[in-house]
Structures are given as structure tokens and as C-alpha cells.
Structure 1
Amino acid sequence: MRTMDDQHRTSPWNQPDQPDRPDQPDRRRLLGGLLGTGAATALAAGCASGGPLAPLPTGNKSAMGLKALPLAEVRVGLIGVGQRGAELAQTLCRLEGVRITAIADIDPQALDKTLALINQARAPRPEVITGSSGAWERLIARTDVDAVIIATPWELHTPMAVAAMKSGKHVFIETPAALTINEAWLLVDTAEATQRHCMMLESCCYGREEMMLLNMIRQGLFGELVHAEGAYFHDLRQQLKDLERGPGSWRTLRYTQHNGNLYPTHGLGPIAQYFGIHRGDRFEYLNSQSSNARGLAAYANRELPANHPHSRLRFITGDVNTSVIKCASGRTVLLQHDTSTPRPYSRLSTVVGTNGMFSGFPDRMAVEMLDGKKIMQSSNGSREAFREWDTQMDPWFARFDHPVWKQLGTQAQQGGSAGMDFVMLWRVIYNLRQGQPMDQDVYDAATWSAVLPLSCESVADRGNAKDFPDFTRGRWKRE
């Protein structure tokens, strides 16, 4: 779906408000009922670590460990079926106990492509809702939709999610879930008020390597964790050529508006799982620095014709952003972002503990003790194995492969994103059908997304620390 103007900006790094368009829902009307609750209170109080916690709004109930009534069949509505939405639709068609009942978009080509994929999977044809930018509102009003998946441009995620939860639907949002701290609080307050699931679809939490690493950590292989590193290194310069459709048609403008980590959750989501964030630990504050912005301009100058609209843009996003996060436990996280240089893809995927470490891209490990004994490498047992990388991962997978991947691996690997999408959506549907909590909740979605505005604010303030709001209102210590 195409971009709608973001009508509720509160952070200094955002652009000024734009006037409402007559063909779009009034976002202030849509969200205004929540602005007098915990979100406004939280912003006024600051919600810094060590500062006053935002009170739970009257009538709200914590969404930690939220369970909803089990669903025999999960009826899904998809809002936005461009590239990402079409991929998710294709994966859903391979799962049991789920049916896509409606899809909404204003791009006929995207709709036709998604319908063809659904037909190819021999799944029932969903209702198609289109014709205006209000199509998504008609989808969430339907009585044959239990859960809504939102795969639209970033600025639409929060208003659509809030409206869907207020309509009684569970919500699953593509990354990031929110662009501002205010939006993150709106998601939290709405999930608590409606008692509906609000989960960010961070598929990298479900990769085979990430889930094996989670299993290793839970079994204590690396000892006590002290540090982790994550990143999103992905050469996306070619997206500058997108105009009519494709992520570059809307994402490119983000590089002219913000200077920070624009896409933190691929690297950060798995780390939050490893560290038990909101389950005994929390992110407290962040320091961030950006390099100068050169890569996109150089690419545009070389690859785009002079009359191309994107050739005239002024890019301000630093080519490499580096942020350091401090946790309440004392652990640290190094988080980086680079989508503007010809760097090979990587998410770093590194954890460091008192008994060893793991690092990804390519996968390699160094472990000192296993089963109570030092791992020795030389034939006479004189050299400790951890002094060199172990790149032979098959034995480690044989022992520590996550049970979910052992169960689903063959099916998962037939799908896209190296099987991550299949495992992620399988877990979502399983939990909805069983009436179980989601693997990630609204507090995770809010906190992981908060890196974007906090990093921008830190960069603009010479790298000074910016506090994470405690979206759990202190419950991370006791629930």
C-alpha cells in the first residue's frame, strides 16, 4: 500500500506535520482516544531508567503472558500485499489451521500477484478489498478476520495496528512496529486495553542458527553472557531505482529524514531473546554515532539519470551507524546498521560469555569447557581448542539444534527467508490455536522499535546516552 502522511510526530528528528488528505482517515481521530492515557503520561514523566514509571492507564491490564481464547481455525486478513505481504501469504497457505479470508491493497498488480500465489497453493480465494486508501479500514471491520498481518510502509504500522486491536483483532506487524516513542506507547496502551496480541514479525528470531544459539544459551554452553553484537548489513542501494512500487518507492525517503539506526530489529531481536529482555533484564540506555553519508549519493550519481527524482535527494542517514546499548544486568550490546555501501550481507549474530562465544556470517565458535572438561585440539592434548575458531558446525547442530527446527526443518526449508518465515508463522498460528502467549509481545515490539528514534536523538546529541522507556512499567523484574 502507498504511503499515508504521518500525522502524529512528537520526536525532534521527525518532519513537520503534513495536512490531512481527504481520501485518508483522520489519524488524530483514530489515535486521539489514547493520547490521554499512559502514552501522554509516559512522555510527560520521561520514563527514563531510574525515573518515574508510567502508571497503568485506568481500566488497562498488563499484556505480559497474554493468553486469548483458542481458535480452532485462524482467519487472517492481510493489509499490504506487495513484496513482503505476498511472501507471507504464500507461507500461510502452507500451514494447517489457518485461512486467509481477506486481503487489502490499492495496487492491482500486487493484488493479482498475491491471488496467483494463493491459487497456486490451492487455498480458498480471499475477499479482495481495494479501491481507496481506506480499504484497510474495511478489512479490520470484517467479522471473518481474527488476526491482521500488517505489511505496509513503516509509517502506517502503528495506526493500522491500533485500529485493528480496537476492532478486536490480534495484530502481527512487520518491522519496525513503531517509528516514535509516542507510537510505541500507543501500541502498548492499546494492547493492554484490548487484551489483544500485538507482535512484531521479526523473522530473524526464527532462523535455524539463531534458534540453535538460543538453545545453547539456555543450556549454559557459553556460561554467563556478558556481551552481544547484532547488525543489519544489507546493500540496498538498488532500491533508489524504485519509483512506482517496491520498497525503494517509500523507503528511500527515510534516508533523507533520519540519521541513526533505521532498521535495528533484525540484529537486536535475537539478542533480546538471548538476554531474556523483559524476562529478568531490560535495555536501559543507548549511545549512538553515525558516519558521514556518502554511499547513496555516490550510487545515485553513478546509476541514476539526472532527471530521476531520487537523484536530487539530500541523504542524511550515515552510511554506518554504531550504537551501544547498556542493560540493567550490566551486559552490553553493539548494534550496527549499513544499507548504503557495497558490504556483503551480515547480521553479525555474536554472543560472548564466560565459557566461550559464537559469531555468525560465517558461523564459527570458540568454547572452553564442554561437559565439565576442557576441549583440547592437539593430539597430545596440549592446546586448548578455544584459541582457534571451530567452523565445523554439523556436530553442534546435531547436539543443539532447536526442537522446533528438528520438528519443522524439512518443511521450513522449502519456504523463503531460509525457513525463518515458515517457523515464525507456524509458531504464531500454533499459539493462537492453543490459546498460548506469543513468543514476543507488545513490550518487545515497542522496545526493539525504540532504537530507531533513540539512536537518531543520540546522534543529534553528540552520542550522549538516551534512556529506553520501561514499557513494562517495572514488570520485567517480576513477571
Structure 2
Amino acid sequence: MDTNRRDFLKKASLLSSAAITLPALNTEAFAAAPNFNMWGYAAPKIDTVRIAIIGLGMRGPGAVDRLSYIEGTEIVALCDRHADRVEKAQKILANKGLKAAKSYSGDEGWVQLLKEEEIDLVYICTPWEFHAPMCIAAMKAGAHAACEVPIGLTVKECWEVVKTSEQTKKHCMMLENCCYDFFEMLTLNMVRQGLFGELVHAEGAYIHDLLDLNFSKQGYDKMWRLRENIKMNGNLYPTHGIGPIAQCMNINSGDRMTHLVAMQTADFQMGDKARELAAEDSFFQEFVGKKYRGNMDTTLIKTEKGKTLMVQHDVTSPRPYSRIHLLSGTKGFAQKYPKQGIAFGHSFLEEDELKSLKEKYTPELVKFIGEQAKQVGGHGGMDFMMDWRLIDCLRNGLPIEQPVYEGASWSAIVPLSCESVAKNSKTVNIPDFTKGAWKTNQPHDLSLKDGGNTGIRPKVTKNSNNQLNVE
């Protein structure tokens, strides 16, 4: 982006004259401050959720498409730094016969959008460094925020997002879609039903060969993700791995993460890739000689109750995709990669036994909307289930399933792992973003009870033209 980060943050703080002004804040001040607990908070229900989508590059257009299928939503504004991307997103609405949204573009388009539009939900799909400022600005403008991962890049940013959510009583949900994948939801329900006994250890990861994409001119705008791999040296993308296993281990609702240790390999590929490309294209010359983050980062985490989690990150090695998703309890075991398996002893269950377990323990959400979600798509359907459930909660006045403390604690692994790596893998403490409320917070309810409200729950089907419609 043409403006630097400092200017960007100033713009966020000057969003509107009615905005809440954040004081100069530090971690200690936040930790001591009283708070309104957003865990389990049910915001007033919204009949029609008016949505603004900011960021229409690699993730935003998919959000426009998915959200347009959900009854009781209206996409009222679209924004991207590039005007042509906004126009392309408008075509998605037009092709569905939906009303055009208000268009915003340019470096300050999102600021103008929040000043001018009446919005219930701001859906943020921008580069990482803008996530926290945009979440804070959206909530101060009176809207709930839903943000792609991570929700912040520094511990201070995570605290600021938490405090703003508590002050405004607006939800800030990090869009951790992997929590809504099918096997992850199955095993979460099995954990809640006690099938694995007490979980004592879990593992997650983001192992995804993005080497070519990170160096692609047609990939991330202005090569922003490659630049993040130069600026930060740690686990840059922990939330896909930590999110589902943290929920299984009741982190923030019965236990909490207390400290971590991160160890990382040197870089064995990114520097070489930059030199290889620069030899044929001068565009890449600026990336030669940079110190890139290492191939594999392994972060070990301890909890208050003496349990452990391991989270790995590798986006450069030529390996099969994996998020691991491993759960180890006193009575059973489960893992998703490289092959789904559940065991209650030395051997994995046979396929027919696994099928029987799936039929019995598939959560209500998956039974209700899972097949329709697969039709809409978004990483096999988990994106749509996540979006659908968020809108369902907002429309029916229900607590959301990923309150702000989840996004903050999972995202904080980014800067804390960098700190540990920089200190030769020294132990680093993890803040308690719930400020002690984890002791009484209750795990999220996996049922679809409507709490006595409207219970409006749209399905997605195909019409005679083989097009998806909302019933």
C-alpha cells in the first residue's frame, strides 16, 4: 500500500467524530482493566444483516458469493483499493439478480465507507497488517466485525481488538474456517460427549507448499505475503492449526494457554527462489539478499492444567498439505492427516466402525446445512458453514462460536513465536485475554437451539436451472 503502516493506523483512529478514542495502551494496563465478558454474549438480534465487504482480492469475492445465498442478508457496500476488483464483485451480485452495493475504492475507501454506510457487519478480507485497525474501526463505527486470519500481528493489537469489542459490545469474530470443517466438528462433538476421555495433548499445523504462489506476480497484491515472510520470523499462520484443537481442549473456557517455546529451521528455499527468479527478471531483485523466515516452525504450548499443544508452520517445503489435527486423550485418539482415523487402543477403527461413529456424532449444524454447504463451496463447504452460522447467530440473537478472545489468543501465537525464536527458543508467556474469565466461561453449545427467538434457518438447494437458491 502507498501509505505506510503508521499513517494507516492514524486514519483508523480518526475514523469518525463519534468513534470511541483508544488511549495509549499497554499489555499491563489491559490485563488489570475491568471488562465486559463477550464470551457467551448475545447481541440484539438483527432481522436483515447489512454487510460491507472490504478486500476483494483472493478471498473477498468468495465471501460475496457465499453471503449472497444466506437469507436475511444484504450486501450494501463493497470496497477494495483497486476499483476494478470492486466492479468484478458487483457482477457477482448482478448475475444473481441482486441489488448493486455501494462501491468504494482507493487507499481510504474503507474509511469513507464506514463513515457513510449503515452497516451491521463488516467482513474483512485484506492483507494481515490491516486486520486489527479495520476491526477496531468497524466496531467503533457501530458494526460487528468478521475478519480473515489472523486478527492481529502484535500482542498490543490483540489487546486493542479485545478491549474495543468489550467497550462497544460488538462481536469481533476471526474467520477461522477450519473450525467448521467436517472432521474437526465431528471430533469436537466426540470430545464433548467424552469419547476420548480427557484430552492431554493435541497437534495442529499449516503445512502448505506456497513457495510459487508467494513469489507470483499474480498472487498477493504488491507481494504482501512474501514481504511478511521477510518481516517476521516465527509461526506466521498458526490459527488453522490451533483453532480446532484449542476448541477441543476448551481453551478460554475451562483452561488457558500459559506459555510457549518456538524452534525454527533456517531458510533453505525462499532466498534461493528469489535469486533464481531475479536472474531472469529484475522485478525480483529487491527480494535478493533478504533474511527469510525458516522452512519449518514448531511451537510447543503448555496450558494451565498441564496439557500440551504443538503447532507447526511450513509454507515452502515440497510436502503434501496437512493441518495434522491430532487429539490424544485418556480413552481415545483421533487424527485427520495424512489419513482420517480414530482409535481407542493400538489400532485404528475399521472403515465401517468409523462410518458408524460419524453417523452418530455428526453435530446438528453439519446435519442441517452440511450438504448444502458443499454445494455452495468454499474449501469444501466449511467456509459457507462458518458464514451461515455467523449470520444465524446474528439474526437470532445468539452468542457467536468464535468470540474475540479466540481470535486474540490464537493470533498472539504469531508475535510470541517470533519472540521465542529471536531469543533462541526461550519460553515466552501467553497473555490471558479473558482476564480470568476462562475459569467460568462455558464451552460453546453445539446444538442449534434458537433460544426462543425466530429460529430462521435458511437452506440452500438447486432450482430447475441447476442453480443454487436459498429457500
Shared fold per TM-score greater than 0.5: yes
Percent of counterpart pairs with the same letter? 38
* Residues 143-152 or 164-173, more deviating: 143-152
In the alignment, the residues of structure 1 paired with residue 192 and residue 215 of structure 2 have an alpha-carbon distance, to the nearest angstrom, of: 44
Deviations 1:149-172 (A, max 9, x none): 111011111111111111111001
Verify: 1:448 aligned to 2:410, yes or no.
Answer: yes
Verify: 1:114 aligned to 2:89, yes or no.
Answer: yes
* Residues 427-436 or 117-126, more deviating: 117-126
Deviations 1:372-402 (A, max 9, x none): xxxxxxxxxxxxxx32233624333222212
Q: 1:3 to 1:206 in 2, by over 3 A?
A: farther
Verify: 1:355 aligned to 2:331, yes or no.
Answer: yes
In the alignment, the residues of structure 2 paired with residue 347 and residue 252 of structure 1 have an alpha-carbon distance, to the nearest angstrom, of: 21
In the alignment, the residues of structure 2 paired with residue 215 and residue 110 of structure 1 have an alpha-carbon distance, to the nearest angstrom, of: 40
Q: 1:423 to 1:3 in 2, by over 3 A?
A: farther
How is 1:60-99 mapped onto 2 (pairs within 5 angstroms)?
61-99=36-74
Structure 1 residue identity aligned to 2:274: A
Deviations 1:435-458 (A, max 9, x none): 111101111111111000000000
Residue 390 of structure 1 corresponds to which residue in structure 2? 349
Residue 379 of structure 1 corresponds to which residue in structure 2? none
Contact kept? 1:81, 1:105, Cα under 8 Å: yes
Residue 55 of structure 1 corresponds to which residue in structure 2? 33
In the alignment, the residues of structure 2 paired with residue 28 and residue 108 of structure 1 have an alpha-carbon distance, to the nearest angstrom, of: 24
Taking only aligned residues, the RMSD between alpha carbons, in angstroms, comes to 2.1
How is 1:285-296 mapped onto 2 (pairs within 5 angstroms)?
285-296=259-270
Structure 1 residue identity aligned to 2:21: G
Verify: 1:35 aligned to 2:23, yes or no.
Answer: yes
Structure 1 residue identity aligned to 2:176: E
Q: 1:3 to 1:87 in 2, by over 3 A?
A: farther
Q: 5+ residue gaps in structure 2?
A: 442-471
In the alignment, the residues of structure 1 paired with residue 44 and residue 235 of structure 2 have an alpha-carbon distance, to the nearest angstrom, of: 37
SS of match in other structure, 2:32? coil
In the alignment, the residues of structure 1 paired with residue 42 and residue 361 of structure 2 have an alpha-carbon distance, to the nearest angstrom, of: 29
Residue 224 of structure 1 corresponds to which residue in structure 2? 198
Residue 103 of structure 1 corresponds to which residue in structure 2? 78
In the alignment, the residues of structure 2 paired with residue 275 and residue 105 of structure 1 have an alpha-carbon distance, to the nearest angstrom, of: 38
* Residues 25-34 or 450-459, more deviating: 25-34
Q: 5+ residue gaps in structure 1?
A: 8-19, 48-52, 369-385
Corresponding residue pairs, total: 433
Of 178, 183, 204 in structure 1, the residue corresponding to residue 178 of structure 2 is 204
Structure 2 residue identity aligned to 1:397: K
* Residues 355-364 or 192-201, more deviating: 355-364
Of 172, 182, 187 in structure 2, the residue corresponding to residue 213 of structure 1 is 187
SS of match in other structure, 2:5? coil
Shift of 1:68: 1.3
In the alignment, the residues of structure 2 paired with residue 163 and residue 473 of structure 1 have an alpha-carbon distance, to the nearest angstrom, of: 23
Contact kept? 1:222, 1:367, Cα under 8 Å: no
Residue 16 of structure 1 corresponds to which residue in structure 2? none
Q: 1:356 to 1:206 in 2, by over 3 A?
A: same
Shift of 1:311: 4.5
Shift of 1:242: 3.2
Shift of 1:355: 1.1
Contact kept? 2:275, 2:288, Cα under 8 Å: no
Q: 1:291 to 1:3 in 2, by over 3 A?
A: farther
SS of match in other structure, 1:455? helix
Q: 1:268 to 1:301 in 2, by over 3 A?
A: same
Residue 11 of structure 1 corresponds to which residue in structure 2? none
In the alignment, the residues of structure 2 paired with residue 288 and residue 54 of structure 1 have an alpha-carbon distance, to the nearest angstrom, of: 27
TM value normalised by structure 2: 0.87
TM value normalised by structure 1: 0.86
Residue 283 of structure 1 corresponds to which residue in structure 2? 257
Q: 1:425 to 1:3 in 2, by over 3 A?
A: farther
